Amino acid sequence: MSSPKRHTVVPSPYGPLTLVADDGVLCGLYMTDQRHRPPEETFGDRDGTPFAEAEQQLKAYFAGELKEFTLQLRLNGTPFQRTVWDELRRIPYGETRSYGQLAEALGKPAASRAVGLANGKNPIGVIVPCHRVVGADGSLTGYGGGLARKRLLLDFESGGTLDHGHADALVAHTLAEGD
């Protein structure tokens, strides 16, 4: 019996993105060398069939034409993690929130550390915009895909242009330095 999971790899300005679907529903988007990236063997067979809409929306996003993803997602995690990830999806394109602000929005003002841990385990990067979360003072804090990628995504969303050569260099730096 074959696994209901399928995966494909698509190009992006930030390096290859591995998309994973479970029964045709997107449940993962992982960057190369991403922290908390599951082992490849858990992604199922390689098959691009279930990813046409995700690929189309990602292309539109990276072209600056899409501000909000409308994909069906399967966010696998604890109830608290799913609540945090749902709140991440409410952060508007081009804006940021601190961990404390997210905790406040969830009605758990003392839970900023738990919010940070849940944010770091987000299984669907970019689409569930964990890159939009910053430190209380606005500083860039940890990002599973590396701080260079986070910086690029935030710069891009705040009206910057996507310089593929610059992105390639920063991503290479991230991978080399473990940023």
Instruction: Give the other-Cβ count within 10 Å of 138's Cβ.
Output: 8
CB environment 77-91: b (16+ within 10 A), e (fewer):
eeeebebbbebbeeb
**CA dist., res. 135 & res. 58, Å (int):** 26
User: Would you call 130 a catalytic residue per the annotation?
Assistant: yes
Decide the pairing of beta strands 133-134 and 97-98. parallel
The catalytic position among 118, 130, 152, 167 is 130
Whole-angstrom distance between the N-terminal and C-terminal Cα of the chain? 40
Tell me which residues are annotated as active site.
130
